[in-house]
Each structure stands twice: as structure tokens, then as C-alpha cells.
Amino acid sequence: MPTVAKIAATAALAGTVAGAAVGVSSADPAPAGPAQRVAVIGLGGTIAGTSDRRTDLETYRPGTRPIGELVDSLRPEIGDVAAVSTEDFGQKGSGEYTVTDLYDLSQLVERRLRDHDSVVVSTGSATMEELSYFLDLTVRSPKPVVVTGAMRPWTAIGSDGPVNLYNAIRLAASNRTTCFGTVIALNDQILPARDATKTDSTRVHTFTTHEYGDLGTIDQAGIRVQRAPARVQHCDDPARWATPFDLTTIPRDTLPRVDIAHSYLDAPAEPITAAVTAGAKGIVFAGTPSPSQANAAMATKAITMVATNGYGSGSITVDPKMGVVSGGDLAPKKARLLLLLALSKTADHDQIVAWFRDHGNQQF
């Protein structure tokens, strides 16, 4: 792990981009001020949900309230933080979106960052870790992108939605995560898109990182940034900071199908062969494949296979002679997104291995 001094040095360097003040410090109590222009994009989800009774915390209709209404309910306080614009990308549960929707969302985020200082995306928690990582891999601007949501509907007693949205806008307006890529702001936590994962179906502290910890916290005293994603070290070199997955060079209709095969005792071969028959160009294994799965996968032609850890943490090492890509310690759902983006550009095994090493598992 890098030292705090090294993170501070690289983060301070990152602060030169777009006039940002990025760094590691104990707190940042001063508001950014209304001069900061933050675009808030709503996708629905629990945070925009409506319950029949204020005590209905788990039964509600997601995505029924426009994002403009949610932001307006935070006034006048939000006016002291930023000049906020709002728009709805969609109003539904996060599980109803597709990869091509994420493609469109990423391009919308890029457009808003041309005339805003940062972007906040409000969405459902079910696929938040996938949405945020897709943005992390595809958004080219180093400006802050913050994803947030809620575990309780906006209308419920004790809803976490209002404070999560307020804190996400506050974090975006602070510019503290310039060059961090996409981050998640939830439950007073700041988490990296690469490592964040949902761990509980109902509790507000559901998002965590299994091994590396939060990036920082947000509370009344201020915004605390305690560590930075590895990519921040290349903030002064846009060619190295950005990933190779520029969506302007990837046609929307060429995103390949990539499936995940979960491994378990006596897991059969049929799901593997069915996925290939259905058109899958890649298979991500979550856990060690069973003999039947391995035999079926090795019998396929022109299918890229990635091995990942299906247990929550820990890295996967693969013998290069096997022709299988190591997902490192990427979660299977994250490895799937990286693989489909990689396959949209090349089928070269060595190049895909390099991208998983250099971008999927980037280190200080």
C-alpha cells in the first residue's frame, strides 16, 4: 500500500487539473460555494421511490419521483453548495437498465462535464457497483463523477436518500475527487467504483470494500479524503490516466455479450455451452470452475475466458499457458464489464491480459 505522503503528493499533483484542490487531509469544512456547477442526473431507483406509508421501508415503488423534485427538497441548503442543474435519464429500478443504457449514460455524463464542474448520478443500489465501474472505465474527463442512491424510499421515515444526495452534491462540488475516476457517496462514505460492493439487501451501511477500505468520509465537520485510487498518480498525463475505452471509438451496437458462470459443486457444462450458443464472446468464471465447466470452456473456440474470485476478496493467479485471463481481485461483475469493453476493441489475448493488469488491477 502507498504511504500517506505519497498519496498526498500525487493527489496534490492531481489538484492542478481543472483548478481542483485534491489532497489527503483531516477535514475540509469550507463549502465550495455556488460558483461550482454540478449536473445531477437521475435514473430512478429506491432513492426516487414512493411508499404507501412512511413506515414502509422495504415495500415501495422505485423511480417514481423526478430528480428535480428531490433536489428542490434540499433547498435552500443546496444553494450554498453549488449551482445545480437536473435531468432525468430514466425513472425505474436499476435492475431494468442494460449495458447499452450505461453506454448512453456515459456519453451523457461526458457532455455535461463540458459545461459543468462535476456530475452526480442518482440511481438504484442493485446495480450501482456495475454502473459506477462502467463510468469509471469509460468517462474520459478527469472532473469528479459521484454516484449515489439510497436503501430506503424518499418518502419513508428515516430515509437515507436526502442526506446521501446532499452529500454527493457536496462532494462533487468540492472537487476533492478530481482524477479519482468515478466514486460512490453513500452512508457518509466515499468509495471507489472499482472496489465498492453491495453487501446487504436492506441496511443503509450496505456498501463496502472488502480489502482496501473507504476513500474517505463526509460528515458535518467536512469531507475527509484518506486515500486515493491508483489512477490519480497519472493525473498530469491524460493519455495514461484515461482508459483505452473511449466510447466515441466503440459503436453502441458492437458491445459484445459476456456472461458470468458461477462455480459450485458438480456445476454442469450446459450453461457454458448455452451461453456460447447464444452468442457470448466471453465467459467470466466466478470461482474455480468444475471439471465439467472447464472442459466445456476449453472446447470452445474464439471465446475469451477470465478467472475471478467468487468469494468476495483475494486475487486469482492463472498459468498463462492455460489461455485464461486473470481477473486479479476484481469482482466477477466488474470483470465482466472490463472484458466486454476490451472485446469491443480487440480479441488479442495478450492485449486483454495487459488491460486487466494495467487498468483492472492498477497499482501505485
DSSP-derived 3-state class of residue 325: strand
What are the beta bridge partners of residue 40? 86, 120
Query: Which of 190, 143, 229, 184 shows the shortest CA–CA distance to 47?
Result: 184
Alpha carbon distance 172, 120 (integer Å): 7
Alpha carbon distance 171, 31 (integer Å): 10
Task: Report, as residue numbers or ranges, the catalytic residues.
Answer: 46
Residue 55: count of CB within 10 angstroms of its CB? 9
Buried b (16+ CB within 10 A) or exposed e, 12-50: ebbbebbebbbbbeeebeeebeeebbbbbbbbbbbbbbe
Query: Which of 243, 249, 245, 241 shows the shortest CA–CA distance to 340?
Result: 245
Alpha carbon distance 261, 275 (integer Å): 9
Instruction: Output the CA angle 227-231-232, nearest 5 degrees.
Output: 60
φ/ψ of residue 207, rounded to 5: -85, 135
Residue 230: count of CB within 10 angstroms of its CB? 18
